[in-house]
Structure 1
Amino acid sequence: MSLVVAITFQLMLLMVDGLASNYTKNCKLGPGTAERDALNLLEPLTNKNYSAVHQMGGDTYTYYFQVCGDANGTPGAGLVQVDAQQKKVVIGYYNTTQAISGSDWVMLTYGLGEKYDKHCSQEHRRALIMISCDRNVAASELKVVVENRDRSESCFYLFELDSSAVCPVVPSKLSAGSVLLIIAVCCLAVYLIGGFLYMRLVVGAKGVEQFPHYAFWSEIGNLSADGCDFVCRSRGNRQEPPTYTGVATEPLGEEPEERDDHLLPM
């Protein structure tokens, strides 16, 4: 009974967690399902800040990134730049998100950030985050690749992040028979271990009686042994078949011919 309650509790936790994990829906995407499918891959990375320190010239900047969340607590900002004087500059907002994916990567774009002061024709800043597959880590540290602002337009900040969340699913090599065998072995193990603990701790059984349903299984063992004995072994003593004996040439039980001579007429 306790095992059933524990399994039910775990299922309820999974259901609640699945209902609560909808952070990627905070991102505003364009029409179509391809971008939404790409963004859904990043659900395990949500609700967490990723940071990176980058030096440019004599200045040091710290960048904060969050998937469809408020980076560094800045409302609506998906990626924020903070300088040494703690001045914040929003690089991109997640209400203008673009997401494209490949076989083992997802490119996330946050647009409509704060405008440049002098560079890039004072256009809005834009952040590109390349999230690549790495099965060894749930999420690596954020890396600053480049700040491309030496052009008149289409400037951007490029970041990198490795995660196992975007890795393709490895197809299972187990056959249906193997899966059924594994399930059967697991059920048998649960039955034996759970029954043993119940008989020992609750019933107080000792010795072989700790085995669950010992009387039932011992009876099956005896019946199996009797059946094997009946099929494979002979019962009773074997009698030799009678040997063949030849018929005597003279009729049995007849007197010699000379004893019948007195019956003949004289």
Structure 2
Amino acid sequence: MAILLTWRALIFLILLAGGGQASDNTVMCKLVKENQSERKVLSLLEPLTNQNFTGVTTSGEEYYTYVFQVCGDADGIKEAGVVQKSKTGKQVLVGNYSLTQAIGGSGWVMLIYNGGEKYDGHCSGEHRSAIVMISCNRTTAAGEFSVVLENRDRGLDCFYLFKMDSSAVCPVISSKLSTGSILLIVGFSCLAVYLIGGFLYQRVVVGAKGVEQFPNYAFWSEIGNLTADGCDFVCRSRGSRDEPPTYRGIATEPLEEPEERDDHLLPM
């Protein structure tokens, strides 16, 4: 009875832990060309959603703050993935998450936001775009967001490059447990459930005290006695310890009979 209740409790906890449905905030990102592979890459960034990440850069007297958010409104601006703020407070849309590209590899994700505001006197007046390189780092959930460069000294395809580290993009480490190890873990788990559940049942329901609280105490004690008797029977000799009589072999040659003397029969 106690074991059955324990298993029911374990099943309930497992269902409770797995019953919640994970959020999917990355669906807010609209891909330039909808496809399953890029959606799969975006899903890796789910732990980083609903957070603003800030980086600062200076160049001479210029001072800019960049605000980044994964598939969310950066700095509160609608559909803004990356926003640039000058020291005067002016905001410039660098990348729009409604025009997203996502490229992933083993331990890294490149998130590209297109459709930013147009340049005034650079890059032929094209729209700005932001590239955020997110690399694997198992020691941090979300590392520092920093500016690498702004490539605007070319006629076309200018971009802002940012980087940050996160454990969210790290590849899953596959289990290296052998079959024997798994069986041992399962065996010890079942033994622990049996002992704990049986102990609680004997103590709470039956009201046993002392060693009687051990589950199936009579059965296990009888097995111990039978084992001891068997070992005693096999390993100890019950016969007499007197030295056996000496063995004498049978001679292979016939014994010579003693010569019969009849001298005493002659007359004196």
Structure 2 counterpart of 1:208, one-letter code = V
Structure 1 counterpart of 2:24, one-letter code = N
User: Which residue pairs with 1:84 in the alignment?
Assistant: 87
Residue 128 (structure 1) shift = 0.3
User: Which residue pairs with 2:120 in the alignment?
Assistant: 117
**Residues 175-184 or 225-234, more deviating:** 225-234
What's the secondary structure of 2:54's corresponding residue? strand
Paired-residue identity, %: 62
2:16 matched to 1:12?
A: yes
2:111 matched to 1:108?
A: yes
Equivalent of 2:30, from 28, 31, 34? 28
Equivalent of 2:147, from 144, 152, 177? 144
Residue 109 (structure 1) shift = 0.3
User: Which residue pairs with 1:211 in the alignment?
Assistant: 214
Structure with more relative contact order (C-alpha pairs < 8 Å, separation 6 or more): 2
What's the secondary structure of 1:174's corresponding residue? coil
String of CA shifts for 1:120-161, please: whole Å, max 9, x gaps.
222211110111111222221111111112222211111111
Structure 2 counterpart of 1:96, one-letter code = L
**Residues 189-198 or 177-186, more deviating:** 189-198
String of CA shifts for 1:183-209, please: whole Å, max 9, x gaps.
221232233344445555676543223
Structure 1 unaligned residues grouped into runs of 5+: 238-266
Structure 2 unaligned residues grouped into runs of 5+: 241-268
Specify whether residues 175 and 114 from structure 1 end up closer, same or farther in structure 2 by C-alpha distance, changes over 3 A only. Answer: same
Equivalent of 1:133, from 120, 136, 147? 136
2:54 matched to 1:51?
A: yes
Question: Is residue 24–residue 43 contact of structure 2 (8 Å, CA) maintained in 1?
Answer: no
> How many aligned residue pairs are there?
243
String of CA shifts for 1:12-47, please: whole Å, max 9, x gaps.
34331xx23211222122243322222222222222
**Residues 123-132 or 223-232, more deviating:** 223-232
Alpha-carbon separation, structure 2, partners of 1:91 and 1:203: 72
Question: Is residue 139–residue 167 contact of structure 2 (8 Å, CA) maintained in 1?
Answer: yes
Alpha-carbon separation, structure 2, partners of 1:59 and 1:203: 80
* Length-normalised TM-score, structure 2: 0.75
Structure 1 counterpart of 2:94, one-letter code = I
